[in-house]
Structure 1
Amino acid sequence: MPLNAVIHHKIKELNITQAKLADLLGIGTSKLSQILTGKREPDVPFLKAVHSKLGISGDFLLESV
């Protein structure tokens, strides 16, 4: 499963908006949107935030980028 699909699943699971997730991760909404649509590659700070705030496995994150 691609990273963006996992993040979309987490958004639904947590019942939050993309804007709320961006705030939770400490990034801008446009950056999150670009990463989720594949227009921008996820950077290390983003991956660290996804790992710590959403509990997504670091192994999975490393394999997906």
Structure 2
Amino acid sequence: MTVIRTDDGRWAVTNGSDIVAGPFNTNAEAWRAADRMTGDPISKSEERGEYVWNRSVDAP
């Protein structure tokens, strides 16, 4: 996924050839959408929450 600036000055997420999300008003919004689409953690707290959840699910 890649974030590009559109002709109207807004931001969009592309997969190389097609726009898959957007347009967004800010670059940060576009990257957040790209992170969600790829399953990457959005923030440190979300990353910690995933770690705790995975540990509790794997526990006997």
User: Would you say same fold, with TM above 0.5?
Assistant: no
Q: Which has the higher contact order (CA 8 A, sep 6+)?
A: 1
Give the number of the structure whose residues are more often strand, by fraction: 2
* TM-score, normalising length: structure 2: 0.30
